[in-house]
Amino acid sequence: MSLESEADLPGDVLPGVLSEELHAELVAFRRDLHMHPELGNQEFRTTAAIKERLEKAGLRPRVLATGTGLICDIGPVGDGLPMLALRADIDGLPIPDMKTECAYRSTVPDRAHACGHDVHTTVVLGAGLVLAELHERGLLPRPVRLLFQPAEEVLPGGATEAIDCGVLDGVGRIIAVHCDPRVDVGRIGLRTGAITSACDRIEVALDGPGGHTARPHLTTDLVTAAARVAVDVPAIIGRRVDSRSGLAVTWGRIESGHAPNVIPQHAELSGTVRCLDLEAWRQAPDVVHAAIDEVATLHRAKSEINYVRGVPPVVNDPVITELLRDAMAARRGTDSIEGTEQSLGGEDFSWYLEQVPGALARLGVRTPGERTVRDLHQGDFDADERAITVGVELFTAAALIDATR
């Protein structure tokens, strides 16, 4: 049995509380994923493992047409009732796992689940197993869709291809969690409205006649031009858009030249464009293009700009945010819920919210009292695995409460 006996629970507790047996199984499942991370659109082993466990529970998962990722419907499907979707992202990151003392560290060189996607996946899997059992007992009046999405880390995000595969067909609402190493396990962070930022990628190539450093006046000084683009473009943008939008260009790479006495003919910069506001994000490509061209022209450099659209902000729907609040309160009490700030991180869950209302909660994964914050996208990131039970019970409560509204 995956659930605690109803006789062991107080009368006012929602069904769907995990047994110690299922928690242990889910921890083992998560650790297996953690040891075998796969990059975006390469999650074949991960997809197979999820599919096998769902089929073992008597469910009928369907692999997406992209070849990785899957969906699985539970409950009274086909009755015309809109489904609540539970979404997880399943891909890992191209960075080494630095947890040298961890028994379940990654076995794949330069690959790690350093963003918590293995936890997200396990939470949705666990919620699916619990909800399937509740459905068998006649306790799930509305259908739920499990959505295991590939390639969240690949701009513009695997959500766009998943939507093209029809994952939102019949879905009326969608929810998700994201691990937060700043929040203690047993708690979640909620925010109505924008909870993440837009994130795009930009690549700039500068070209011009080079020459000898003794005669820079006869050349296009591309090293200086690249340096001015790096410094001046963010400053110009800060004066051309409302500062409250949080539109910011941050460079991560700049390259030019091979010798100290040669002015090169080519320079490159690449970085990210982040934005807190949806409308400003829509204007960002034109604003950034204009600023780069202006600085490059001033220094007689020819510029080529590759602006790669990423993801818009995740904007939490107030009604669905309240659903998550009520679900967490029902499981752990109102003291387990805290407000959270809008982050500058990007999340392709936002693409689903362009289609249907939904909300994302921050799932606490920090062990209470731990002083070291293991940040996301770092090789030493790990999660307190008690968060798996918290996430599963949050989702199952949300599904049951949603069915009454």
Question: Position 308: which residue type?
Answer: V
* Torsion-angle region of 115 (φ positive above 0: left; ψ -120 to 50: alpha; else: beta): alpha
pLDDT at 11: 37
Q: What is the pLDDT of residues 170-186, one digit of tens each?
A: 999 999 999 999 999 99
> pLDDT tens for residues 221-260?
999 999 999 999 999 999 999 988 999 999 999 999 999 9
Of 206, 199, 243, 198, which Cα lies nearest the Cα of 223?
206
Distance between CA atoms of 167 and 169, rounded to whole angstroms? 6
Strand order in the sheet with 144-149: 62-63, 70-74, 144-149, 83-89, 171-184, 358-366, 188-190, 337-339
Q: Which helix (H) or strand (E) holds 362?
A: strand 358-366
pLDDT at 10 over 60: no
The residue among 96, 86, 67 whose CA lies nearest residue 158 is 67
So what's the pLDDT on residue 100? 87
CA–CA gap between residue 253 and residue 71 (Å, rounded):
38
Tens digits of per-residue pLDDT, 48-90?
999 999 999 999 999 999 999 999 999 987 777 899 999 999 9
CB atoms within 10 A of CB 156: 20
Identify which of 44, 47, 40 has the alpha carbon closest to the alpha carbon of residue 70: 47
Residues 6+ apart with CB under 8 A from 291: 232, 233, 236, 237, 240
What is the separation of C-alpha 375 from the centre of its chain, rounded to a whole number of angstroms? Answer: 14
Contact (Cβ atoms closer than 8 angstroms) between residue 231 and residue 299: no
Give me the pLDDT at residue 5, please: 45
Question: Which uninterrupted H or E stretch holds 293?
Answer: helix 278-298
Of 8-12, 76-80, 145-149, minimum mean pLDDT range: 8-12
Q: Measured between alpha carbons, how far is residue 41 from residues 46, 123, 232, 370 in Å?
A: 11, 21, 37, 35
Predicted pLDDT of residue 1: 44
Q: Tell me the average pLDDT across 324-333.
A: 97
- Helical packing angle, 117-136 and 386-402, nearest 10°: 50
Q: How far is CA 43 from CA 85, 95, 148, 346, 384, in A?
A: 21, 16, 11, 21, 24
Residues paired with residue 193 on neighbouring β-strands, in sequence order:
316
pLDDT in tens, 353-405: 999 999 999 999 999 988 877 889 999 999 999 999 999 999 999 999 998 88
* Burial category of 80 from C-beta neighbours within 10 Å (exposed 0-12, middle 13-18, buried 19 and up): exposed
Distance, CA of 166 to CA of 145 (rounded, Å): 12
**pLDDT over 90 for what percent of the chain?**
88
pLDDT value, residue 8: 42
- How far apart CA 277 and CA 281 sit, in angstroms, is 6
